[in-house]
Structure 1
Amino acid sequence: MSLQQGWGPEDQPSFEVKGSFKPLRDSVNSGETSVFLWEWFTTKPFADSGEVRFIGSVYTPWPCWMLAASPSADEEEVKQFLAALGEYTTSFDSKEKRETENVAYVSKTFNQQESDVKEWLSTVAWYHDLAKVESKVVLETLQTLEKAGVVKAPAAGWNISDFVNESVSTIV
């Protein structure tokens, strides 16, 4: 949003973190909060009901789903987790499930309209090999955060290996 609005580090507005969506929504409806940023599809039912309204969109230059583990996490357990989750995302990503089972599950679980779920599912891509980390995504994320004044690049530039445990993941 900073880049979209042309704000430099000295222009940053202050933001208060409200936590999950319900306290955020409650604070908007009480007048305590004027505006908030949240994912579009999960906010849509509240916009459809008139409880909140959309005033714009801010697109991130990075994927909306990222996985992180503590450096102290057991590497074998992380590898097993990534492999198991990768099997699930591969199954979830199948054309057949995107058109039937996934629509019903997401609609029921997240209280979404089936038409909205179908639209959302048509826009997302799922990684299947979760142990692969795209260097381009990491670099673009760091460069964007640097432009926004959130991080500062080291003199020698970014080293992706500083952000990815190569005993667990492969940088591609």
Structure 2
Amino acid sequence: MKTIKVGGVPEHFNLPWHLCIEEKLFEAKGLNVIWKDFPGGTGAMNQALRSGEIDVAVILTEGIIKDIHAGNNSKIIQTYIGTPLIWGIHVAAASKYKSVEELKNTKAAISRNGSGSHLMAYVNAQNYEWDTKNLQFEIVKDLDGAVKALSEDKAQYFMWEHFTTKPLVDKRIFRRLADCPTPWSCFVIAARNESLKNEPERLRTMLEVLNDETNRFKDLPKIAEKLAEKYDQKLEDIKKWLEITSWSQEQLSENEIEKVQDKLLELNLISKKMPVSEFIHNL
């Protein structure tokens, strides 16, 4: 049985993958899909794709597009979440800062260079008309590192997915000042070029099984309760999240790839645009 190693964040978006594994849906099609959690997010997954630690990543759209620009030999094989990601802008609960405007010229905690928290700090800065050349960063690796950095004032704010950080807001560890939605579909599925060359049929089968699951996911009995329990969330928060989140079974559109590249170019995070064909592979 062929093994496919898949990486993703340990967040509620990825429950369909875990259900496919637990219910042996991949196995029934002759696939041994092994999941690895990446609490460090997109930057860590880009490194894992580059090194061959994983074959496939469920990864932020802007993060993989920027890293393909930087030489990551991978391509997007499908959109996974077709709706924007809602990034919360957080400070320590006891922080003196009461508004996002006050955070100008302070330091942002980020998981890694090239991560979603890093790239979205630029998007947020542009939204508030800050000079992005003045942005300062503290690399914290993951959510636990961000809690430590903000509590010790090594960084003053941290951007992470709204609902994942909601328990920390509820416990008064973080205080959320505002939200910053991505201007595009937030998660895609990317595969290493080597895997695309050697295992296209198996990757296609993997997507077919996953897409069957995501198509029916919202209609599964007690799915909100299951999500709330597994990811330590309040039921009302999960219900809100389900209302605004849609899974996709389609390839990322050329328009969205252009939109991401235009934004990265505008923010001086890439030096030029590349053809759409450099980013996608249709199985």
Category of TM-score, reference length = shorter chain: 0.7 to 0.9
Residue matched to 1:133: 252
CA distance in 1, matches of 2:171, 2:181: 24
Secondary structure of the structure 1 residue equivalent to 2:184: coil
Alignment partner of 1:144 is 2:263: yes
Q: 1:41 aligns with which of 158, 163, 166?
A: 163
Could you say which structure has the higher strand fraction? 2
Residue 5 (structure 1) shift = 2.6
1:62 correspondence with 2:187: no
1:72 is aligned to 2:191: no
Are the equivalent residues in 2 in contact too, given 1:45–1:112 (CA < 8 A)?
Answer: yes
Any unmatched runs of 5+ in structure 2?
A: 1-123
Superposition TM-score, scaled by structure 2 size: 0.51
Partners of 1:21 and 1:46 lie apart in 2 by: 10
Distance 2:215 2:178 in 1: 33
CA distance in 2, matches of 1:3, 1:116: 29
SS of the residue corresponding to residue 186 of structure 2 reads: coil
Matched, 1:86 2:211: yes
Cα offsets for 1:73-100 (capped at 9, x unmatched): 1322322222221111112133xx3xx5
The residue correspondences of 1:115-134 to structure 2 (distance < 5 A) are 115-127=236-248, 129-130=249-250, 132-134=251-253
Give per-residue Cα distances to partners, 1:97-116, cap 9 Å, x unaligned: 3xx52211110111000000
Q: Equivalent of 1:52, from 174, 181, 187? A: 174
Question: Residue in 2 aligned with 1:111?
Answer: 232
Q: CA deviation at 1:8?
A: 5.1
How many pairs does the alignment contain? 157
Aligned mate of 1:2, from 125, 131, 136: 125
1: distance between equivalents of 2:143 and 2:264? 24
What amino acid sits opposite 2:128 in the alignment? Q
The alpha-carbon deviation at position 16 of structure 1 amounts to 2.8
Alignment partner, residue 27 of structure 1: 149
8 Å Cα contact 1:107-1:117 kept in structure 2: yes
Whichever residue aligns with residue 134 of structure 1, its letter is S
Aligned to 2:61: none
The one-letter amino acid of 2:253's match is E
The answer on whether the counterparts of 2:228 and 2:235 sit within 8 Å (CA) in structure 1 is yes
CA distance in 2, matches of 1:78, 1:3: 38
- Paired with 2:130 and 2:265, the residues of 1 have a C-alpha distance of 13
Structure 1: distance between partners of 2:194 and 2:170 = 44
| Stretches of 4+ aligned residues off by more than 3 angstroms | none
Q: TM-score, normalised by structure 1?
A: 0.81
User: C-alpha separation between the residues in 2 aligned to 1:16 and 1:67?
Assistant: 28
Determine whether 1:101 maps to 2:217.
no
Percent identity, please: 21
The whole-number CA distance in structure 1 between the counterparts of 2:138 and 2:201 is 37
